[in-house]
Structure 1
Amino acid sequence: MTTTEEQLGLALRKVRWLVLDVDGVLTDGRLYFDNNGNELKTFHTLDGHGIKMLQKSGVQVAIITGRRSGVVERRAHDLGIHKLIQGREDKYKALQELLAEDSCRLEDIAYVGDDYPDLLVMTRIGCPISVPDAAPPVRERALWVTRARGGEGAVREVCDRIMQVQGTFDAALAPYLASD
């Protein structure tokens, strides 16, 4: 998908929900297991703080992932993400379930994905986003490809950009610049 900055700005201005994949977006996409078969994941702190700031600005954040992981449940809880659906390959159907609980127009949703299971959602919402190391068909259908890779600050980049376009970034940043 060829896009202009103007098209991207219009799409980001409408965003009321940011929906995220996990493996390859919130993580680097690699799966780690210890000798006992426990799954380990690493998350970037920049992404986490960006999510918290974005939520405070009024944009809801949801996670839809094909795998099930207690680690993801804990991370979502720690970040105050209440909309979490795990173990679902049909991510569009999962999104429809979220929308049945809390209405939002498809054109007001941004989604960050990296692989084929993300395509059903990405081709139906207003602002499809991919990470640079996404599968080529995913990158081709994205309105925007982040500079940062999955698990390396890509989600923070998205959160900051949404707030900048929506005019909420300065207010979100202000508490970190205030002096006594």
Structure 2
Amino acid sequence: MKVSWKPGTMIYPLPAVLVSCGDENHSNIFTVAWVGTVCTNPPMCYISVRPERFSYPLIKEQMEFTINLTTEPMARATDWAGVRSGLDYDKWKETGLTPVKGVKVSSPYIAESPMCIECRVKEIMRLGSHDMFIADVVNVLAEDSLIDPETGAFDLGAAGLINYSHGHYFRQGEEIGRFGWSVKKK
């Protein structure tokens, strides 16, 4: 039996990501839970950020950011960057993560991340508690050791990515199928 429950955003798990923003003179990293794909062609994604966050004006001014996927060794830094403000701390120094100059955007990417998605903001939607930054993906930086030389596919499983689910971080689980496996001819 199902019961009506309070309205809420219970779409979990989500990727645990660190967003880097700003430029080589002044940058920050922060954890974002509201992140996702908007469109495949052209490639677009979004992040939703509270306007009172320290990084909000950095993104709004530059109109660029980088989404950095996180791994189990990055879990502590991922959490720490989400509960501390860049107003009070140099998060790069405090987390031990390494900023690297962006390739197609001003914002740095995180050297320790296996995949970094450079984005240019196309539109900002004011929604309520958060504003949604809808962005074009202008570049993807992938760890070369995780790219299959024969197929060119990125091995997300081997990357050791972590997920966020309603206040908790998790390792990714065992693969149970592939897209289309339910209809594949035997």
Is the structural similarity TM-score above 0.5? no
In terms of fraction of residues, the more helix-rich structure is: 1
> Per chain length, whose mean CA-contact separation is higher, i.e. which structure has more relative contact order (CA < 8 Å, sep 6+)?
1
Greater per-residue strand proportion:
2
Q: Normalised by the shorter chain, which TM-score bucket?
A: under 0.3
